[in-house]
Amino acid sequence: MLEVSHITKRYGRTLAVDSLSFTSPSGEIFGLLGPNGAGKSTTIRMIMNIIAPDSGTISFRGSPLTEQDKNRIGYLPEERGLYGKVTVGDMLLYLASLKNVGRAVAEPRADEWLERFGLTEWKGRKIEELSKGMAQKVQLIAAVIHDPEFVFLDEPFSGLDPVSTDVLREAVIDLNRAGKAVLFSTHNMEQAERICHRVLILDKGRTLVDGRLAEIKARYGHRTVAVEFDGEIEYLTEHPAVASLTRYPRWAEIELADGHEADEVFAALAGRVSVRRFEVVLPSLHKIFVDELGGTREPDDSLAGEPGGTRG
């Protein structure tokens, strides 16, 4: 179990992390969420003891993190660290050796992961020849080749195409099924909704929301409608059944007003737009984030993803 208690970090006058506390239990996938600049990467670097907090404590299994503990942790940093002139196979074996894993154990593990990611034929090629998605997969292999108990992933899906994103997401889920605890940071709320057991949403280094995903979403109620459509629906903002409307490029999230039902919204849509999907759902993490922030941010599709990530 990882326990973070009231950690704070300043860079000059900038308060990057503000008295942050959370617990990431063993066997769960924990999402550290928030927009760029929220303090996610700084938090992970403090957990990894790359930088020290100005105050507060971090414990791993009840004790401060030691160098020996790091051999039981896999870490995928936001800044990738592969050497371009080295072959994929040699890179993985070298990084495994830094975790005291010999070639006889590391090479079969590397081969298994490379096959899974469709990279077997690239084993003898140099890192610099890989695409960004390929390099991201190799970096993930490097983070887990020593069979860690806890895996830290800093923005693992950043910049990936949809196919590579799906492959990496399934790999993260399988790591958890194999008994690994996973903590990952992301600004993509939709990815977190798909795989997390527990989440913490940060903004400007402060906690906005923290807890088990199902409990958080239930806490915000079931009076939300997700609509996929063609056309314009801004006119609904004037409808008495609509308390708020959050518009994304491909869909909209509608919060129902007290005393009104979803049927009223559907009736208002009929004949005016082409509805592809209409569903009563639990509110999305993006909607929760916007509500917690007081609606001062404009909706960002990179945070939102698709409708209906978790349904009621």
Please say whether the structural domain 2-212 has been given the CATH code 3.40.50.300: yes
User: Mean per-residue pLDDT for 1-11?
Assistant: 91
**Cα–Cα distance between 251 and 218 in angstroms, integer?**
22
Render the burial of 231-269: b for 16+ CB within 10 Å, e for the rest.
Answer: eebeebeebebbeebbbbeebbbbbbbeeeebeebeebb
pLDDT band at 152 (very low <50, low <70, confident <90, very high): very high
pLDDT at 303 over 80: no
Q: What is the domain partition of the chain in residue ranges? A: 2-212, 220-304
Which run of H or of E encompasses 17?
strand 14-24
CA-to-CA dists, residue 256 to 128, 252, 264, angstroms = 52, 13, 10
Q: What is the pLDDT of residues 230-262, one digit of tens each?
A: 888 899 999 999 998 988 878 899 989 988 999
169 touches 17 (CB < 8 A): no
Would you state the pLDDT for residue 144?
A: 93
Q: What is the pLDDT of residues 157-190, one digit of tens each?
A: 877 888 888 888 999 999 999 999 999 888 888 8
Q: What is the pLDDT of residues 71-124, one digit of tens each?
A: 888 998 877 678 889 999 999 999 999 888 999 999 999 999 999 999 999 999
Rg (CA), the chain: 22
Fold designation for 220-304 = Alpha-Beta Plaits (3.30.70)
CA-based nearest residue to 18, from 191, 233, 206: 206
Whether the model pTM is above 0.85? no
Which run of H or of E encompasses 217?
helix 213-219
Would you state the pLDDT for residue 162?
A: 85
Tokens 């080749």 map to which residue?
145
**Single-letter code of the amino acid located at 24:** S
**Cα–Cα distance between 202 and 208 in angstroms, integer?**
6
Q: What is the pLDDT of residues 39-78, one digit of tens each?
A: 998 999 998 888 999 999 998 888 888 877 778 889 988 7
Would you state the pLDDT for residue 62?
A: 81
